[in-house]
Amino acid sequence: MKHLLEQFLDYLSIEENLAGNTIDSYRNDLRRYLSFVTSEKEYSDFNQITSKDISAFVQLLNSLGLSPKSISRNLSAIRTFHKYLLNEDILENDPAENIDLPKLPKTLPSVLEIAEVEKILEQPDTLNYLGIRDRAMMELLYACGLRISELLSLKQNDVRSDAGFLRVFGKGSKERMVPVGEVAMNWILVYQEKVRPHHLGKLTSDDVLFLNAKGKKMSRMGFWKILKRYTEMADIKKDVTPHTFRHSFATHLLEGGADLRVVQELLGHADISTTQIYTHIDREYLKEVHKTFHPRG
């Protein structure tokens, strides 16, 4: 069983090209699952596992107080694993096929108003090197709706300033081209010309675009602290993270009339249902406009 698990993880890495942290999550969740089924029934073959065993494991996770989101992630890993075993002719039947994912509460992501975004963007002191870098990073994060991992892994040659586009590698190293507004592009060019050579010094950075003061690749925690500081300086009371900028990017586009499919492409979502959460926010905005401006609102 352990051998087949490692074989499956190799498949995710090589064939599906999943990120290392995603594969680690699969490994942890599936090891917990296999430990449960083998200790309960002393199974030695995957064909011995039944849908009742999987349901019992889900019930155990629920009794331990795991959130519906965490349980869904575990069950998703189990279903993907069993499907792989079925396709490899190791399983005769898929016991996870009819196990439903727990219903997740529909929580709307935190979103900033346009004025709040602008206020945060205006906080860096652009008379110094770090201020220019911080302004360029935040402008780009909002202009393109990037994930934090996408922002920090950008290379210099990913910036296509002549065409006004950015080449982005998202989840699973899937490539997409995202348009960059004139304001954000100008800040990137200023940063590349004046700041990056100063920070780089004699170090090499594999052509990574955004560097810290020591000339190394910016860390996730490093940028999170930067954003937190400017949010506090702007006196914004909301809990603002890099992903808040991504949510705000999508919401502001939809509020402006952008097509959902276009927003899906810009965000790099493989499934349109992932993008549809933003339509809930858009409806709330429409209700507010109706209430404010309609004579019978």
Q: Which residues are catalytic?
A: 147, 171, 243, 246, 269, 278
Phi, psi of 215 (to 5 degrees): 85, 15
SS3 169: strand
SS3 160: strand
**DSSP readout, 194-226?**
IIHHHHHTT---TTBS-B-TTSSBPPHHHHHHH
**For residues 150 and 172, is the Cβ–Cβ distance under 8 A?**
no
Plot region of 241 (φ>0 → left; ψ -120 to 50 → alpha; else → beta): beta
**For residues 271 and 252, is the Cβ–Cβ distance under 8 A?**
no
Which residues fall within 8 angstroms of residue 269, CB to CB, at 6 or more apart? 275
Read off the amino acid at residue 151: L
Which residues fall within 8 angstroms of residue 64, CB to CB, at 6 or more apart? none
**DSSP readout, 219-249?**
PHHHHHHHHHHHHHHTT--S---HHHHHHHH
What does the block give as tokens for 117? Answer: 């975004």
